[in-house]
Amino acid sequence: MKFMLIMQGTKAGWESMYTWAPGDIRAHIAFMKDLNAQLTKSGELVAAEGLDVPANVKVVRAQKGGAPAVTDGPFPEAKEFLAGFWIVDCETPERALQIAARASGAPGKGGAPTNFPIEVRQVMRAPEV
């Protein structure tokens, strides 16, 4: 079963990362690399990526004739944004939840767990026709 683990962020949470000591940032990145290496070794990692800051987001909608209408995003009233994701292939939904909990506990400032919210959603397959 494939699951997408979606890491949510907030503007305040993202901006607070600029106050982290360099060692805290290195520890956070090392944790994420280690998590991805372990998931690769177990055969569960399909893909994982961190995403650019919200200030660089573009929202696209098709105009008449299919031409793109591009606006800046996300909207200012948005409280959360997509910070990154993993796609994992697990035997059970419970295993996907375990991986999400581990990712959520990544170290932050002073080594304290960040406890970022991680949304877990099964990747659905198209019905057989």
What domains does the chain contain, in order, with CATH numbers?
2-122 (3.30.70.1060)
pLDDT digits (tens, 9 = 90+) for 108-122: 999 999 999 999 999
This prediction has a pTM of 0.86
The pLDDT value given to residue 6: 96
Q: Give the model confidence (pLDDT) of 49-68 as tens digits.
A: 998 887 788 889 999 999 99
Coil, strand, or helix at residue 87?
A: strand
Name 45's bridge partners: 88
Strands (E), the chain: 2-9, 45-50, 57-62, 68-73, 81-89, 118-122
